[in-house]
Amino acid sequence: MSDLDLDPTQLDRYSRHIIMDDVGPEGQKALLDAEVLVLGAGGLGAPIIQYLAAAGVGTLGVADDDEVELSNLQRQVIHGNDDVGRKKVDSAADFVEGLNPDIDVRKHGLRVTPDNVEELIEGYDFVVDGTDNFATRYLVNDACTLAGIPFSHGSIFKFEGQVTTFAGDDDSPCYRCLFPEAPPAGMVPNCATAGVLGVLPGTVGCLQATETVKHIIGEGESLDGSMLFFDALDMEFDKVEIPKQDDCPVCGDDPAIESVQDVEYDASCAIDVGGDDEAEPEIEASD
């Protein structure tokens, strides 16, 4: 334990990790040394940030350009009444400081676009996607896959959620192996129009945080290669395989996407056919 170089307060704080055979001093050191980027400080991002900070993930990047609204407080548990109107990255940073002052929070109060995503994710060990629009999900997938950075995907809708991890290995699939392009605009409503059970993002976000911690400490089986579906109404989990596709446009044998500049990140997230006037996708916390 002396190799951890922790003070008595830290030894007490992380004691339940340190006494576990599957975590121990080495695993806790790995967590403290880890740098994780959380995209979105909303419904999914809130429990992700909360539990990664509590676990001792030493550096947490938080990217979100939104402000806290009263309607967020039904599910975005790191924000409170006094935070309404504040930038979510500021509210999130204050929450983490109050929970665990060991954590270094890097605030990225910005929109994620093809022009900044590569610089944004550079240097992080793991990315957790808590966004709620297809344009940003595909942008994150393509950027992380091309850079070889592992990431977790989560999404929610009414009473249902889904979670997976893309490890970025040579034999790992990516999001486009499952969904080569986004569904037509308007086919899948977002939480602002369809609603979401307040506790659902807590369940899904905790699963994403669990996948992140497991990846950092190198223990257990990840969801790489499979998607976990959760139905809160029937309290059922179902797991389906995501096979790597040889013809995947980003991780296949002959990829058509070699740069995020090759894609129009709009409603379809299809390969660019020459237009460059599309609106930039905005990062939004998953509601």
For the annotated catalytic residues, the residue numbers are 191
- Based on its alpha-carbon atoms, the radius of gyration of the chain, rounded to whole angstroms, reads 18
CA distance 99 to 1: 23
Alpha helices (runs of H) in the chain, residue ranges in sequence order: 8-13, 15-18, 24-33, 45-55, 88-99, 117-121, 134-147, 175-178, 191-194, 200-217
Other beta carbons less than 10 A from residue 206's beta carbon:
17
Residue 92 tokens, joined: 């999130």
CA distance 284 to 281: 9
Nearest alpha-carbon partner for 248 in 195, 155, 177, 162:
177
CA distance 224 to 168: 9
Contact between residue 130 and residue 45 where contact means Cβ atoms under 8 Å apart: yes
At residue 166, the 3 state secondary structure works out as: strand
Contact between residue 35 and residue 61 where contact means Cβ atoms under 8 Å apart: yes
Dihedral in degrees, nearest 10, Cα atoms 94, 130, 74, 59: -20
State how far Cα 232 lies from the chain centre.
21
Q: At what angle do helices 200-217 and 24-33 cross, to 10 degrees?
A: 110
